[in-house]
């Protein structure tokens, strides 16, 4: 009987080879990928390495995914910075929920590229606005303290 890890590894090896064919990557390319992991066979790759290799091939096949992934990460960082500026707790689930609500979608990966860009800009602007308000408030408090 196979373990869950062995079953997943076999599934990922099949996916890896299918993606190689889809990307039209030949034997030399496959060997180059395997050598980057210092192995000679796909059977020697761990599940994590197979997932990483499949993701890299997927990005090669669909370069727009790399752009989307980059903007998703930027949006996550922007919302995280905004939450920190407000002294609120942050974790990835909260950040993704805020992004989904702002984009009016059900899942984070459904947010289209243009919406990712606009939300990134909006949350950066919110963070800058919070910093400006805090600075103005401190100036006013200092002025009032000197006046009294």
- pTM check: above 0.75: no
Residues 6+ apart with CB under 8 A from 115: 103
* Residue 29: domain span: 4-61
If we measure between CA atoms, which residue out of 22, 23, 40 comes closest to residue 31? 40
* 101 and 117 fall within a common domain: yes
* 78 and 137 fall within a common domain: yes
Distance of CA 61 to CAs 10, 16, 65, Å?
A: 22, 13, 9
* 75 and 91 fall within a common domain: yes
* 82 and 35 fall within a common domain: no
Gyration radius of the chain over CA positions: 23
First-residue to last-residue Cα distance in the chain: 81
**What confidence tens digit (pLDDT) does each residue in 35-76 have?**
888 988 889 888 889 888 888 888 788 877 778 888 999 999
Q: What is the domain count for the chain?
A: 2
Q: Are 23 and 61 in contact (CB under 8 A)?
A: yes
* 50 and 121 fall within a common domain: no
* 88 and 136 fall within a common domain: yes
What is the predicted pLDDT for the residue at 1? 61
């Amino acid at each position: 009987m196979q373990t869950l890890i062995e079953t997943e590894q076999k599934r990922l090896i099949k996916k890896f080879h299918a993606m190689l064919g889809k990307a039209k990557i030949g034997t030399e390319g496959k060997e180059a990928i395997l050598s980057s992991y210092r192995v000679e066979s796909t059977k020697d790759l761990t599940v994590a390495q197979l997932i990483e290799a499949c993701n890299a091939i997927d990005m090669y096949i669909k370069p727009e995914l790399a752009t989307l992934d980059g903007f998703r990460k930027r949006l996550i960082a922007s919302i995280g910075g905004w939450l920190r500026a407000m002294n609120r707790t942050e974790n990835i689930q909260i950040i993704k929920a805020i992004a989904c609500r702002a984009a009016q979608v059900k899942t984070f990966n459904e947010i289209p590229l243009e919406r990712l860009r606009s939300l990134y800009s909006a949350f950066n602007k919110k963070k800058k606005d919070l910093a400006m308000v805090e600075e103005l408030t401190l100036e006013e408090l200092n002025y009032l303290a000197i006046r009294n």
